[in-house]
């Protein structure tokens, strides 16, 4: 079932992220993997920053374009770590194996958010959560949760 949300400000994106996080099921034996699909400027990093804030992460969250992956410890009751991956520069999922991606996936207390997941689609579970992000105008973004 698809749900669409349009936000018109950072505050609305933060509320959307808070509500989305609260809606996640926590009964899993693996990490929760979220693919953020969308072009540059479509709100992927802002959404991730908003989720990080809800998880109690106080450090600056930026897109890990050049380092590929950043790990953050959280204050959340279920998710102990947020793993933020930017696959923009990757050509295949095999490149994530050097970062112990399988071990990260095996931990049900990890929330893994991946920007540009289409670049590593061959290693993503078919049932990963998908959010399509779209630039609407200077202040507005559209998020379609699938």
- The domain that holds 76 is classified in CATH as 3.40.50.300
User: Domain for residue 30, yes or no?
Assistant: yes
pTM comes to 0.94
What integer pLDDT is reported at residue 25 of this predicted model?
Answer: 82
- With vertex at residue 31, the alpha carbon angle to CA 26 and CA 36, rounded to the nearest 5 degrees, is 100
Beta bridge mates, 33: 112
User: Domain for residue 1, yes or no?
Assistant: no
What's the pLDDT tens digit per position in 22-70?
999 878 889 999 999 999 999 999 999 999 999 999 999 988 888 899 9
What's the pLDDT tens digit per position in 65-95?
888 999 999 999 899 999 999 999 998 888 8
Higher pLDDT residue, 98 or 20? 20
All residues at 6 or more sequence positions from 121 whose CB lies less than 8 Å from its CB, including other chains: 93
Q: Where in the sequence is the domain holding 110, given as residue range(s)? A: 7-145
User: Domain for residue 84, yes or no?
Assistant: yes
User: Domain for residue 53, yes or no?
Assistant: yes
Q: How many structural domains compose the chain?
A: 1
């Amino acid at each position: 079932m698809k749900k669409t949300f349009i936000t018109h400000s950072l505050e609305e994106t933060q509320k959307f992220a808070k509500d989305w996080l609260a809606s996640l099921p926590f009964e899993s034996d693996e990490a929760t993997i979220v693919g953020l699909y969308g072009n540059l400027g479509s709100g992927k990093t802002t959404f991730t920053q908003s989720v990080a804030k809800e998880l109690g992460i106080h450090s600056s969250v930026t897109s890990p374009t050049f380092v590929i992956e950043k790990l953050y410890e959280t204050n959340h009751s279920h998710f102990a770590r947020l793993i933020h991956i930017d696959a923009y520069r990757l050509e295949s999922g095999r490149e994530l194996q050097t970062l112990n991606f399988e071990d990260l996936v095996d931990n049900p207390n990890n929330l893994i958010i991946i920007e540009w997941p289409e670049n590593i689609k061959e290693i993503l579970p078919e049932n990963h959560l998908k959010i399509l992000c779209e630039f609407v105008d200077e202040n507005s973004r559209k998020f379609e949760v699938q």
